[in-house]
Structure 1
């Protein structure tokens, strides 16, 4: 998993979605729900690139994701991005290995 630490890195990830799907997660370092979602995402085995950012450290990236994908901010939040658009997103307890697997099946 790659940690995204700048808006420019986010824009690179968004551009990479034109070559195939990518995951992007907004993670809260202080929330136990986010910690559980992060663990589920981290443990899920896939060839799809997995990226995350820490909301508290990078509010500018969080805003860029919200504006770029047109989806209201929540945390934790996981997106499957394809061709510059979120084809799937989930937040809070909906981020689990079973939902991630279903998102891949439906959108890859």
Structure 2
């Protein structure tokens, strides 16, 4: 699993543009939260996509709270941490948080969305 650090506000526009070519995931992580660490390890353990299928972005909410707030605003999703957002065709089509974060659930949601397109 290859994470691209999300550290600059302009990256959000880049993610939106990229999501028209392939789905993008934003994982919002708090280094101060044990649940966030567990969710991150669980996600990595279940992950079986290549970067050519789906792009992954890692947002450290402690260091980049302003960007986390901007993500919440741009996609209309209340901030939580840990949190996973699936961005496709410019929109957040799925989001979940805490112990509900799962690559299997993400796959089901993505397959459901792709079957409609």
TM-score by length of 2: 0.84
Q: 1:74 offset after TM fit, Å? A: 0.6
Give the whole-Å Cα distance in 1 for the aligned partners of 2:109 and 2:42: 14
1:13 corresponds to: 15
Cross-structure match for 2:89: 83
Alignment length, in residue pairs? 108
For the pair shown, the structure with the greater C-alpha radius of gyration is 2
3-state DSSP of counterpart to 2:7? coil
- Residue in 2 that maps onto 1:103: 109
How do 1:1-108 residues align onto structure 2 when only pairs under 5 Å count? 1-43=3-45, 44-46=47-49, 47-108=53-114
- Give the CA RMSD over aligned residues: 1.3
For residues 47-98 of structure 1, the C-alpha deviation after alignment (integer angstroms, 9 at most, x for no partner) is 2111111000001110110010001111111011012111111101110232
Taking the aligned partners of 2:105 and 2:7, their CA distance within structure 1 comes to 26
Q: Structure 1 residue 33: deviation in Å? A: 0.9
Moved over 6 A (4+): none
Q: Distance in 2 between matches of 1:68 and 1:30?
A: 25
TM-score normalised by the chain length of structure 1: 0.91
Query: What SS class does the counterpart of residue 32 from structure 2 fall into?
Result: coil
